[in-house]
A and B are shown apart, each in its own frame.
Chain A
Amino acid sequence: MGMFILRRTGVMILTALCLTFIVFFLTNLYPNLEKLAKTQGNFRMTDEAVASWLDSNGYAQPTIQKYGQWLGVLPGWTHETEDGVTGRCITGTLTQAEAAEARSFCGILQGDWGYSTRFKDEVSSIVAERLGNTGYLMFWVLMLMVPSALIIGVLAGMREGSVTDRSLSTVSILTTATPEYVSGVIFIAVFTSSTVGLKWFKGTATSAMDNPTFENFFLPVLTIALYGMGYIARMTRASMTEVMTAQYIRTARLKGVSFHNIVLKHALRNALIAPFTVIMLQFPWLLNGVVIVETLFNYKGFGWILVEAAGNNDIELLLAISVVSVFVVLVTQLISDIGYVYLNPRIRMS
């Protein structure tokens, strides 16, 4: 088991390195840098002005070198002018002597996530704050989605082909066919608009960042939860129907155990192994849902900074975002693998 986790962690780090390099490469293509220079400087910059801006801000180096500096394995760039020295590890402009004392390595290995050109702030503080908002949203999404999906799946799967099964399966197909931007728009139209008249909820979740209430927070949570729910419910149903046809369930029935007890004591535990993996693997999709719903409901969390950073080619913020999301995805995959082994004693890692 220890070896397995070690190997998975190795693959995880390799994946994270590859992905961040891809993001780095794409954001550092010349047209993107040119756009960055023009948004940071001014839009009527000449080509020479763009080139000199890029040079004095350290963007003109080879991509590999910049990537090494961002990681913290290569010394940060410095640029000397008449006024003094500027550089990656230097805030503002310093004199020669002061610059010599500054740190020479400052990448993520040193805990330095860089500076956001869009928000004019430290990347680490922005990501931490926004991630908190999204974490809160995700918590409630999971609290709503997982129990209801499991209940629907178990109810549908315990009597295959019954009335309950058919109607609940139709509901879960319907929710998987409704992407967040469709269900969100329908919910806003029905429950918040003044034309329909059901003003039960608020159409934006902006105020939910400081003061989340049922009124302003339920719709975003419901919108994300619905799309994922149908899929988990269908997986639970499939697993439940499989368990219900197993030999030991038939034995229990023939012994005269009540249906109630068969489902709760015998079937449920084995039927919930597969959905556990599915729930863990849903996290990457939830991340997508978060981006859409945060845009739709104007909730300023992790998804919102992703859109802002990508729209403004904010390189270091984007990199931090991809590190965080890749980390979430890979860690949930690892948990799902390890959890599967623990839940299912028939599988042993060699």
Chain B
Amino acid sequence: MDPLSWTGSIAFLNPILMIALAILVLSVLAWLLIGAVMPENRAINASADGSVTLASGPRDMAALVLRFAFLGTAAIVLAYLVLGIVLDTKAGIIGAMARQFLPVWVALVVLFGVSISYKRRLGLYGKLFDSPIGMIGFALVMFWVFTGFFGSLDLIVTHDPLSQVSGMKNKVPGTPLRNPDEGVLQWYLLGGDNLARDVFSRMVKGAWEVVKIAPVATIFAFMVGITLGLPAGYFGGRLDTLLSFLANLILAFPVILLFYLLVTPEIVATGLPQYMAAILFAFPLIFFGVLINSRFRTQPSKNFTWLLVTLLPLSLLYLSLINEEGSKIDIAPRALDFIPLPGGLLVVFVSVVFVNSPTVFRIVRGLTMDIKTRDYVAAAQTRGERPWYIMLWEVLPNARGPLIVDFCLRIGYTTILLGTLGFFGLGLEPESPDWGSTINEGRKLLSIYLHPALPPAMALLSLVLGLNLLADGLREESLKD
């Protein structure tokens, strides 16, 4: 087997791409320079037929060139992908990767097609598709979400991310396997790492590690922050002083010191993470209980049904999450413990929630203090509504804009925290393909072999960048209302 080159038979596209990129860079520079130096054009031309147009000057020319250069480059990149999907390994590493990601492309096209055609009926989510920045961010995020999801179903990965293949140690991208099994891809697309494992498959599997932990951990952090931040902002006084002191206490801790103290096997052995989980995971229960009770307090039968419908599954989930066989908290019967959450994963989860919730608390508290002075809150108070009803059904819905934006940013921050944990080898098992651990392994030989460390680093960068852009787009669109 010959080694794969980067582009294989579609190499004829490379010079075209180079030219397009050069034009793009030049036009960006020209655009910036003209934008900074030339004054804005305000001249108005009246033509013979009576219509009035803005005179086009060098600024508009530069913008036009930039637009065409960008579209041209995008078209060529698209050509790489389409030809890659068609030609598979004949189109080199790029082609083979494009083919491997086929389920992701299909899912992305379907998602965007459906969303754009119904965007007027989809509220804030639909408005996202009016902002180019937001769309790019959403596309990046969903790319990794789909990659993680399909990767966990073994659709994208080419090799087992944990198995070591002889002769593949630190091999460059596109190296063929020595004696490949039937039905397996015969190359390591992005090369092998220092334990001769496939870098590409590990990167794809690493996406799942992030996708399965980060959003859920962020939701938990929001539950904790909202449940404590609302009363602190609404009631103020001693309660506020106490809770703010606790939040500042956690925020004054250097995050890495906290991780080192919490995420060690010795601490897991004491059961401390489980006790913390028992407290932190109880907040969603409290939140939904109070949410429903404050709404249907006056209609006992409806209240009871709703509470039963939400709290029963949530309690089961709660028990299953904190309960672990043979650990300090082992109270539920085996049949109820349907989510296996090993100590290492639990402690990562708990510490990420623990670090994030004080910041959410501060944001919610600030928003509540602002919103409680509004007229509709005064109206509700005059109607004689209970404090919790006002907090959860009047204040919270009106604070949703900033909270949704912060939610996106916070998932990105959680991703960075998970990477930090992996980077210091804390929590997750040593073989784990998560991006932080892979970067940590790869960096040791970085001056000789670049390929093991760069793919996970780029993956993490693009996911967090996508989340930041998404948050930016959402903020822009929600301000337009």
Give complex CA distance A174, B472 in Å.
12
Give A165's nearest chain B residue, CB to CB: B35
B393 vs chain A, min Cβ distance (A)? 31
In the complex the two chains form, is B450's CB within 8 Å of A182's CB? no
Q: Does B461 contact A (CB under 8 A)?
A: yes
In the complex the two chains form, is B249's CB within 8 Å of A15's CB? yes
Q: Does B102 contact A (CB under 8 A)?
A: no
In the complex the two chains form, is A31's CB within 8 Å of B457's CB? no
In the complex the two chains form, is A176's CB within 8 Å of B468's CB? yes
Chain A residues within an 8 Å CB radius of B446: 185, 188-189, 193, 203
Give complex CA distance A155, B169 in Å.
49
19 CB contacts below 8 A, A to B, read A15-B249, A18-B249, A26-B267, A26-B272, A29-B266, A32-B264, A32-B267, A162-B35, A173-B469, A179-B420, A185-B442, A185-B443, A186-B454, A192-B447, A193-B450, A203-B447, A292-B256, A306-B257, A310-B261
Known A19-B249, A164-B36, A292-B423: A185·B412 in contact at CB below 8 Å: no
- Which one, A31, A32, A189, A330, contacts B252 given CB within 8 A? A330
List which A135-182 residues lie within 8 A (CB) of chain B: 162-164, 167, 173-174, 176-179, 181-182
In the complex the two chains form, is B457's CB within 8 Å of A186's CB? yes
How many residues belonging to A are interface residues under a CB distance threshold of 8 Å?
56
Q: Give me the 5 closest cross-chain CB pairs, A-B, nearest first.
A: A163-B35, A310-B260, A31-B266, A177-B465, A177-B464
In the complex the two chains form, is B412's CB within 8 Å of A177's CB? yes
**Interface residues of A, Cβ cutoff 8 Å to B:** 11, 14-15, 18-19, 23, 26-27, 29-32, 34-35, 162-164, 167, 173-174, 176-179, 181-182, 185-186, 188-189, 192-196, 203, 284, 287-288, 291-292, 295-296, 303, 306-307, 310-311, 313, 318, 321-322, 325-326, 329-330
B471 vs chain A, min Cβ distance (A)? 9
B12 vs chain A, min Cβ distance (A)? 26
Q: Does B376 contact A (CB under 8 A)?
A: no
Chain A residues within an 8 Å CB radius of B448: 193-195
For the residues of B in contact with A, the DSSP-based class is helix
B174 vs chain A, min Cβ distance (A)? 15
In the complex the two chains form, is B31's CB within 8 Å of A181's CB? no
List which B251-282 residues lie within 8 A (CB) of chain A: 251-257, 260-262, 264, 266-267, 269-270, 272
Q: Does B32 contact A (CB under 8 A)?
A: yes
Chain A residues within an 8 Å CB radius of B125: none
Chain B residues within an 8 Å CB radius of A29: 266-267, 270, 272
Known A173-B465, A177-B412, A181-B420: A26·B261 in contact at CB below 8 Å: yes
The 0/1 profile, CB within 8 Å of A marked 1, for residues 133-166 of chain B is 0000000000000000000000000000000000
- Which one, B249, B261, B264, B439, contacts A181 given CB within 8 A? B439
Give B33's nearest chain A residue, CB to CB: A163
A195 vs chain B, min Cβ distance (A)? 6
Given A195-B449, A203-B446, A310-B261, 16 additional A-B pairs, CB 8 A: A15-B248, A31-B270, A32-B264, A163-B36, A173-B468, A177-B464, A178-B464, A181-B440, A182-B439, A186-B454, A194-B448, A287-B254, A288-B254, A292-B423, A306-B254, A310-B257
List which B447-481 residues lie within 8 A (CB) of chain A: 447-450, 453-454, 457, 460-461, 464-465, 467-469, 472
In the complex the two chains form, is B36's CB within 8 Å of A189's CB? no
In the complex the two chains form, is B252's CB within 8 Å of A194's CB? no
List which B223-264 residues lie within 8 A (CB) of chain A: 245, 248-249, 251-257, 260-262, 264
In the complex the two chains form, is B269's CB within 8 Å of A288's CB? no
A102 vs chain B, min Cβ distance (A)? 32
In the complex the two chains form, is A284's CB within 8 Å of B32's CB? no
In the complex the two chains form, is B439's CB within 8 Å of A185's CB? yes
- Which one, A19, A34, A189, A307, contacts B260 given CB within 8 A? A307
The 0/1 profile, CB within 8 Å of A marked 1, for residues 405-445 of chain B is 00000001000100110011000000000001001101100
Give complex CA distance A133, B400 in Å.
45
In the complex the two chains form, is B436's CB within 8 Å of A181's CB? yes
A307 vs chain B, min Cβ distance (A)? 7
Chain A residues within an 8 Å CB radius of B264: 32
- Which one, B35, B253, B457, contacts A182 given CB within 8 A? B457
Chain A residues within an 8 Å CB radius of B255: 288
Chain B residues within an 8 Å CB radius of A174: 465
Known A31-B266, A329-B252: A177·B32 in contact at CB below 8 Å: no
Chain A residues within an 8 Å CB radius of B454: 185-186, 189
B273 vs chain A, min Cβ distance (A)? 11
Known A27-B261, A203-B446: A177·B461 in contact at CB below 8 Å: yes
In the complex the two chains form, is A182's CB within 8 Å of B257's CB? no
Give B422's nearest chain A residue, CB to CB: A181
Chain B residues within an 8 Å CB radius of A322: 253-254, 257
Give complex CA distance A30, B270 in Å.
8
Chain B residues within an 8 Å CB radius of A195: 448-450
Chain B residues within an 8 Å CB radius of A196: 450
Give complex CA distance A30, B272 in Å.
12
Give complex CA distance A318, B260 in Å.
10
- Which one, B272, B412, B443, B469, contacts A296 given CB within 8 A? B443
B179 vs chain A, min Cβ distance (A)? 28
Known A29-B267, A178-B461, A307-B260: A295·B424 in contact at CB below 8 Å: yes
- Which one, B253, B449, B453, contacts A185 given CB within 8 A? B453
Chain B residues within an 8 Å CB radius of A182: 419, 439, 457, 460-461
Give B443's nearest chain A residue, CB to CB: A185
Give complex CA distance A18, B249 in Å.
8
Among A35, A182, A295, max chain B CB count under 10 A is at A182
Give complex CA distance A350, B439 in Å.
51
B62 vs chain A, min Cβ distance (A)? 9
